[in-house]
């Protein structure tokens, strides 16, 4: 069976642990020469937020969502045993001790290796997240783009 | 590489946000002419429950599960930031303001577009959910049917 | 379209319900003659822990993680409605009444059917989990091995 060397990953969850899993797979595949596209949707958009507050015009509920959701890769919690952030701090401490790449490092490496990172425009609209609030180097598209890529890929994951 | 235009999605989670993600993908693919099958298993069955109470004979634990689990697409919570339902209400308010399709609309649209929706019979047995409690238009099958479909599909997601 | 009969499942979550879903799919596929590889990473490693305490040398944070995480398939909670373990007990009681295979039975069956079970070595390092703490019959590998297998598989799930 001939397989495509293309892979897609939908990043739905904004959890530190799941984000790391997604980026470890993406980096591994890209390092092996694969063509990798990551689609960031719903909570997954939080992974891409800039750490600083970016002044943009938002509606009331959009502002609330914006305040309550973690602003960027450094602020994400764990999907389990997070304990109001303590779990994430512990996990990052352990990873630092073991010299595992941090999530920001994994994101930078993915970009350097040519992983295509696409932010879902419909989710951005719903969450009230604007382009200026996200890190540079992204593309912006919707579900049709995802489907077009997935159709050509041999591995498609939803994380 | 020739790809199948078939897609399968396992709907395991009964969260509003994940259900929306699944149905947005299913609707998008079906609108592009793909052959889409969704398998509803475990908590995902709650997406398909009728909103009204359907009188069926159940054991004690089955009744408790039935009472505690959300009854249909209108009652689902968010996977994150749900805050006892307030998050889901906020999300639905925002989506209404932005004129995003609601989950019940997405389900109806998927059915109209010919998306095959299969309820997992083993999960129904375990959760104590009967056919009469689920919306019309479903098929009923088990893991073997899923595997048969997934084998012919180019995109297979677990949500 | 000619499809591979190979399947891979990443077991990321250590929840009882998700673990059962993964093993039900793996067993079904293996029973139909498919070649199935399961990769256990992050919380998914807890599914493979031996129930007894295995004396191994660990750092302080590794010990804390080890104490807090469930030790093996019998100790897992549900991803929803767990209520400090009561939900998992109820679910197991119902499954017992309905004569559904338990998770330990599903794991044994998967091993008997030749499902390849791989523990992610990077996750083991981060979580501080040693080979001696895991059930026998596993392989140990990293993301490159996963990618090699996924490239040859027709169905790849992330659970």
pLDDT higher than threshold 90 for residue C3: no
Domain boundary assignment for chain C:
6-158
* Chain C residues close to A35, C-beta within 8 Å: none
* Chain B residues close to C97, C-beta within 8 Å: 59, 61
- What pLDDT does residue A65 have? 85
CATH of domain B6-158: 3.40.1260.10
- What pLDDT does residue A3 have? 61
Helix, coil or strand: residue B3: coil
CA dist C60 and C103 (Å) reads 31
**pLDDT, tens digit, for every residue of C75-122?**
999 998 888 888 899 889 989 998 999 999 999 999 999 999 999 999
CA dist B12 and B136 (Å) reads 19
Q: How many other CB atoms are found less than 10 A from the CB of residue A94?
A: 19
* Chain C residues close to B156, C-beta within 8 Å: 155-157
- What pLDDT does residue A140 have? 98
ipTM score of complex: 0.94
> What residues of chain A, 8 to 27, have a C-beta less than 8 Å from chain B?
10, 12-14
Structural contact between residues A73 and A79, judged by C-beta atoms closer than 8 angstroms: no
* Chain C residues close to B144, C-beta within 8 Å: 28, 32
**Which member of C28, C91, C157 has the closest CB to residue B143?**
C28
- What pLDDT does residue B11 have? 98
CB of C3 less than 8 A from some CB of B: yes
Q: Is the pTM above the cut of 0.90?
A: yes
**pLDDT, tens digit, for every residue of A110-119?**
999 999 999 9
What is the pLDDT confidence band of residue A1, given thresholds at 50, 70 and 90? very low
**Which member of A17, A25, A154 has the closest CB to residue C42?**
A17
**pLDDT, tens digit, for every residue of A27-72?**
999 999 999 999 999 999 999 999 999 999 998 888 988 888 999 9
Report the neighbours of B using a cutoff of 3 or more CB pairs below 8 angstroms.
A, C
CA dist B92 and C143 (Å) reads 38
What is the pLDDT confidence band of residue A2, given thresholds at 50, 70 and 90? very low
Structural contact between residues B2 and A5, judged by C-beta atoms closer than 8 angstroms: no
Question: Between residues B98 and C49, which one has the greater pLDDT?
Answer: C49
pLDDT higher than threshold 90 for residue B83: no
CB pairs under 8 A between B and C: 70
- Interval B77-103 mean pLDDT: 90
- What pLDDT does residue C84 have? 86
Distances (CA, A) of A127 to A131, B17, B21, B102: 12, 12, 14, 15
- What pLDDT does residue C29 have? 98
> What residues of chain A, 62 to 91, have a C-beta less than 8 Å from chain C?
79-81, 90-91
**pLDDT, tens digit, for every residue of A60-110?**
888 988 888 999 999 999 998 888 888 899 889 989 998 999 999 999 999
What is the pLDDT confidence band of residue B117, given thresholds at 50, 70 and 90? very high
Which residues on adjacent β-strands are paired with residue A38? A9, A117
């Amino acid at each position: 069976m001939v397989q495509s060397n293309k892979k897609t990953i939908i990043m739905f969850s904004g959890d530190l642990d799941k984000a790391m899993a997604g980026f470890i797979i993406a980096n591994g595949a890209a390092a092996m020469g694969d063509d990798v596209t990551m689609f960031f949707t719903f909570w997954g958009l939080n992974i891409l937020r800039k750490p600083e507050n970016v002044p943009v015009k938002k509606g009331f509920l959009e502002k609330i969502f914006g305040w309550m959701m973690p602003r960027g890769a450094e602020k994400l919690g764990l999907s389990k045993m997070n304990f109001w952030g303590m779990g994430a701090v512990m996990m990052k401490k352990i990873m630092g001790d073991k010299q595992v790449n941090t999530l920001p490092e994994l994101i930078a490496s993915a970009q350097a290796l040519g992983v295509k990172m696409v932010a879902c425009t419909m989710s951005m609209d719903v969450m009230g997240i604007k382009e200026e609030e996200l890190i540079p180097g992204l593309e912006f598209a919707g579900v049709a783009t995802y489907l077009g890529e997935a159709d050509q890929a041999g591995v498609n994951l939803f994380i």
